């Protein structure tokens, strides 16, 4: 299964808001995710997965300590971005959680991830915790982060879709040929 983080991996968002004291996290009418844009190459990757019947899901971590009404508006806007960008997300699965992705995956599936469960994320601590419990991780470069202290697989969300798809095919092929996962 391919597991995608949303923010900073499939979609851009303004990293400067982490230092912003405005209401971008709390006001449902101006929240931080309202204006994010999809990385076109990642859009092509999702559509490739859909066309090729590759099982995938999107796990989107939501901010903690916000009113449920604000979280609901944020989740709805995130869903609408997929629809507006022409991605039939219902062919995959999308989950919004306050839990770490590894913990949520275990809760969602009732099992630990294995090497065929590949997490794509821009956030290194998430990737590391995923690998610690048995999954495979791919760091997604997004123009803001880097490969500093990362020795694993990576893709660049700014690359054309064909390049990203070929990289993902190669990563999956290496896992299959290495006997790490079975077809």
How do the domains of the chain map onto residue ranges? 2-177
Answer CATH for 2-177 from 3.30.460.20, 3.40.50.1000, 3.40.50.920, 3.40.50.300: 3.40.50.1000
Report, as an integer, the average pLDDT of 77-94: 81
On the question of pLDDT at 181 being above 50, the answer is: no
pLDDT at residue 121 in the model = 96
pLDDT tens for 22-77 read 555 566 666 666 678 899 999 999 999 999 999 999 999 888 887 888 888 888 88
- Per-residue burial over 103-137, b if 16 or more Cβ lie within 10 Å, else e, is ebbeeeeeeebebbbbbbbbbbebbebbbeeebbb
pLDDT at residue 24 in the model = 59
Bridge-based pairing of strands 118-121 and 136-141 is parallel
Confidence label for 93 from pLDDT (cuts 50, 70 and 90): confident
């Amino acid at each position: 299964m391919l597991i995608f983080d949303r923010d900073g991996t499939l979609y851009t968002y303004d990293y400067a808001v982490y230092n912003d004291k405005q209401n971008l996290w709390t006001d449902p009418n101006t929240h931080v995710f309202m204006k994010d844009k999809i990385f076109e190459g990642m859009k092509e990757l999702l559509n490739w997965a859909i066309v090729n019947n590759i099982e995938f899901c999107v796990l989107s971590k939501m901010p903690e300590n916000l009113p449920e009404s604000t979280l609901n508006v944020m989740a709805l806007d995130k869903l609408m971005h997929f629809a507006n960008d022409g991605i039939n997300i219902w062919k995959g699965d999308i989950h919004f959680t306050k839990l770490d992705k590894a913990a949520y995956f275990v809760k969602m599936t009732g099992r630990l991830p294995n090497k065929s469960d590949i997490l794509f994320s821009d956030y290194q601590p998430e990737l590391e915790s995923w690998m610690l419990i048995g999954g495979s991780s791919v760091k997604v470069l997004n123009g803001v982060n880097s490969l500093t202290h990362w020795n694993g697989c990576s893709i660049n969300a700014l690359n054309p879709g064909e390049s990203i798809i070929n990289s993902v095919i190669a990563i999956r092929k290496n896992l299959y040929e290495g006997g790490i996962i079975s077809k």
